[in-house]
Each structure stands twice: as structure tokens, then as C-alpha cells.
Amino acid sequence: MTRLPDLRHELVAAAARLDEEGAGLAAPPPPSPPSRRRGRRLPAARVLALALLAALALAAIGAAATGLLGSGSDVQPRSGKAPTPKTGFGVPVGTVAPPIVVDDPDGGALKWGLRTFTTTRGYACLQLGRVQGGKLGLIGRDGAFEDDGLFHALGPQVLDRAGCAPLDAHAHGFLAIHDAEMPASAMHDCMVPSWVHAFGGRVPPKTKACPTRGMRSVDYGLLGPRAKSITYTLPDGGRRTVPVAPGSGAFLIVTPRERLTLPKRRGMIARNAYIIGRTPGADRIVSVAYDDGTTCTVRHTMQPRGGCPAKGYAPVKVRVPTRAEVRTPMTARIERAPEGNFVLHVAFRARVAAEKSRATYTVMLRPTRGRHCHQGIIGHDLERDVAAGQRVGAAIKMSRISCRGRYRIDLVYRVVEDGSVFGTGFVYPGTPVASATARLVK
């Protein structure tokens, strides 16, 4: 948060104190001749303080004129847990490069930026935000950060504010995201117009509708090491070609908000509102050019593989272990937490390793269905590296409105699916490892 008001107050108070001290210590001035009237001479300390105050005021006016924001608290992980190299998506590998920066289409003071990096657990990750003073961050508006109007720096360690996909066999990332309704805050903490329409014009309680002022359409992603440029359509119908980042194929396109064709049926989201794939598939992306001189004309689609071949992509091949190889005993119990919700505790000894983005152990909770219970199956990936022979324990949070009664707890081993696009991408249902039962008592 900016300290301009506090500094101004401190300088005025200091000038007053110094003025009083100087008046008490200085010798009385000699009498002036009647014919020569002179103004009161200010003590040097007060002159200096007032000069600093004037400079401070000019700095404040300059900041307002340039549209710069005060600094708020740094963005924290939603989970509240510090990232580690062997859990979740991991932590960034090596030095993280500065973000790719593009101008705001309407000349806003804060530009848009895209940070890309790979992690210790084998993921390629993207972070979108606004840029101020060379830093990537989010703005406290549109429901974010209680609309405090401040700039919140976004560090690369906050990976639950990122889009991540498993690396291919050559450690390259492929991912393309189209978001037609990105709030000016650069994050979704409000309900965008297409969702409000899908809800029949109603906004759920404790939810805020996004203002359209400052809203943008963004396309960003990783096209791989072979991509050279990407061409897209401008709002006026023209076309523009921009180069992508060498080596990764990273790109960022920001334009005024796209006008979506809203479906007539309730509960339906506009087709082009949000698209994610291995390669671009949004309507406004025209083509991608590669280093061999070829150009792919984008086939507009919402399919996960996207509208172009992923040139340079190396398939991932992970062996699926047999049931006999992974089979092991497991214990499970459910207890009430002090906060009022419930926690499932499981423990087992892993016989097969599950490391990085290639494999995971997943816990499946199946309640006993009955007249008063309509809860479905809940799956929870143990997002951590597990070594063969390691004793594993996990505490899985359950809702306070979970059905009471007996639950069947299944543990399965899942490997990454070749061509998975977003998130972890593990194959379902996986290889059975163990089963147990636990009872939830209210």
C-alpha cells in the first residue's frame, strides 16, 4: 500500500517541530530600519522539509498521471501452503525469465504480461497478469482483493494461479488458452457476462458480476520450439502477425473484449468464451508459422488437441504397472476436524514409485448411496513424489455436509495420458492398489 499520505503527514509534522526548535534557539534578529521592510525568514530546516514535501506532492501527481498503482500484499497460494520441489506442480527450475509484455489495447497505463517456466515436477506453467515496474501482478478490482485498487505482485511460486500442462518427452510445453472475458484485474474473482447469461441473468449469493469496463480478450500459450509466429484477426477485421518467443513458442495476444454470440438456452455457455487445447483453436487465431517454412491454418475447434498439429511434440510413454506389482494394504478412517468439516486419513506403503508429472496415487471416496445421500464419487490425487517402498500418509478434507455412513475407499495408480493437455492429465480409472472402508459419524 502506498505511504504517500503518511509521508506527507510526517514531513509536515517534522517541519513544525524543527521550526519551533529553531525559533527557541536562534538569537533575536536585529531591528530593521523603518524604510526597509523584510519578510520573515524561514529556518533552513523548515525550508528543506517543505521542499521535500513539494517533491513528494509532485511525485504523487506524477504517479496519478501515469496511472501507477500503490502496492498491496503479494499474491499468496490459495492453499496457504508453501510450494515444495516434490509436491503439487513443484517449483520453477532455474532462473525465471522476465515476462512477455504487450500493451493494453485501449492504452491503459498497466501493460499485460505472460510468465512461462518449467517446474521440478515436470510441468510447463503459464502465469498471466498486469505489469508494473517490471513486475507481474494482479489488480485489486472486479472483486479481487476486496477491490482495494492496489497492485499485488504475483511470484512464480504461486502455481495455483497458473495454467500448467505436463512436459513432453523432450521437456517442451504445448498449451493454448483463449479467454474471451478476462477482467481487468487479470484474474477471475467475479462472474463474467457469458456466465451471468447462462444463469438466466441471476448472480449467485456472495458472487459479484464482472464489470465490462477494462475487460479484455486474451490468447496465450506455448506453441513449442518449432513455432515462429502467430497470426490473428483484429476487431476491425484486419490481421496481425507477431513473433513467438524462441525455444518455447510462448505468445500473448490482448485485444478489446470479444463480442460473443450468447446461446438462447439457459445453462449453456457461449461457444467461444473459453477454449483450452494443445494448440490454438479459437476463431480469431488465423494461423501458426513454423521454422521449416510451413504454415498451419487453424481449424477452429474446442477439441483438446487444438486446431493445428503440435509440431515438435514428442509423445510421452509411461509403462502401466500390473495390479500384482502395485497391490499393497491400506488403512483408512474418517474423523471430524475442529473446524467442523471431516477428514479422511489413509496410509499405505507404496511398492511402485510415482514421480513428477508421470504418475500418481489417487484416493477414491465412494459413499453408500441411499434415500438421503446423493453424493457422487470423489477423487483426490496425492500430488507428490512417492518412492518405491515409501510409507505414505495423507489427510484429505471432506465437506461438512458429506453423507454420513459407510464409505468405500479405493486407492489406484494412474499414469499420465499421452497427449494430455491441461492439469495433471492422468489416465482414468487406473490400476487398483488397495481398498478399505471407513465410517463417517455425525
The architecture in CATH of the region 323-440 reads: Sandwich (2.60)
Q: How many Å from the N-terminal Cα to the C-terminal Cα in the chain?
A: 45
Distance CA 235, CA 128 (A): 22
Q: Where are the domains of the chain?
A: 4-26+41-66, 100-297, 323-440
Q: pLDDT tens digit string along 275-302?
A: 999 999 999 999 999 999 999 999 999 9
Residue with cell 525568514: 41
| pLDDT on residue 19 | 37
Beta bridge partners of 295: 289
Rounded-to-10 torsion of CA 214, 219, 225, 231? -100
Please say whether the beta carbons of 410 and 348 come within 8 A: no
Low-confidence ranges of the chain (pLDDT < 70): 1-67, 161-162, 370-371, 419-424
Q: pLDDT tens digit string along 312-357?
A: 999 888 999 999 999 999 999 999 998 888 999 999 999 999 999 9
Distance CA 219, CA 307 (A): 14
**Phi, psi (5° rounding) for residue 251?**
-145, 155
Q: Which pTM was predicted? A: 0.79
The residue type found at 316 is V
| pLDDT on residue 110 | 95
Beta bridge partners of 332: 346
| pLDDT on residue 184 | 94
Beta bridge partners of 227: 290
Please say whether the beta carbons of 420 and 166 come within 8 A: yes
How many other CB atoms are found less than 10 A from the CB of residue 116?
26
